[in-house]
Amino acid sequence: MDRPLWPTVVAGIVASQSGRVAEAEEHLSAAWEACGDNEHALRCIVAHYLADAQDEVWSELEWDRRALEAHAHVRDAELAPLGIPSAKAFLPSLHLNLGDVWLRAGNPVEAERHVLEAQVALDELGDDQYGAMVRKGVASLSRRVAEAKPNRSTTVIQGKVGQVGLEPTTDGL
């Protein structure tokens, strides 16, 4: 890892994934404060994981938005220190999290927009455990969004590499 803050970020991610939320927030907040405005890869990852450490849905939404905003400036290989070979492959996860938080905030329309964005980017994922996990998450969120919008008829479709999407139907199914 060529950047001095990556070990702090990784410690925060490991703590987060181990359920040690306070420790995760401590590491990730320190990394956020230390990284510069132009360190988009760091800001993207840190914001993504800080969102998960929030107790309040609107705070989580703000951190998820920051992650997506920073991602727009991440060059393709900049996430390699975390084992993410392509910045594009991280986009489905960012939209998955935004869709989920919008749904929990009571806005299924905005949630659906992010589900669709995630689906468009699914082909960027590898055929590995991470890719399978994100695909499964997008499929689950797609169903939850459809259930939250009872006046809209939807069909779940299977496509390339297990892609799942929402498509309006005209047959009333």
Q: What's residue 77's pLDDT? A: 86
Backbone angles phi, psi at 17, to 5 degrees: -70, -15
Banded model confidence at residue 155, pLDDT cuts 50, 70, 90: very low
Q: What's residue 152's pLDDT? A: 54
* Overall average pLDDT of the 88-113 stretch: 96
Banded model confidence at residue 153, pLDDT cuts 50, 70, 90: very low
Banded model confidence at residue 151, pLDDT cuts 50, 70, 90: low
Instruction: Give the torsion sign (CA, 125, 3, 43, 9).
Output: positive
Of residues 154 and 68, more confidently modeled:
68
Check whether 132 has a pLDDT greater than 70. Answer: yes
Q: What's residue 149's pLDDT? A: 81
For the chain, the three-class secondary structure string (H helix, E strand, C coil) is CCCCCHHHHHHHHHHHHCCCHHHHHHHHHHHHHHCCCCCHHHHHHHHHHHHHCCCCHHHHHHHHHHHHHHHCCCCHHHHHHHCCCCHHHHHHHHHHHHHHHHHHCCCHHHHHHHHHHHHHHHHHCCCCHHHHHHHHHHHHHHHHHHHHCCCCCEEEEECHHHCEEEEECCCCC
Sequence-separated (6 or more) residues with CB below 8 Å from residue 53: 16, 21, 24, 25, 28
Q: What's residue 150's pLDDT? A: 65
* Overall average pLDDT of the 34-63 stretch: 94
Question: Which token pair is 78?
Answer: 């900049």
**Residue 154, strand partner residues:** 168
Check whether 142 has a pLDDT greater than 50. Answer: yes
Of residues 63 and 154, more confidently modeled:
63
- Please report, rounded to a whole number, the percentage of residues in the chain having pLDDT higher than 70: 84
Q: What's residue 56's pLDDT? A: 95
Q: What's residue 83's pLDDT? A: 76
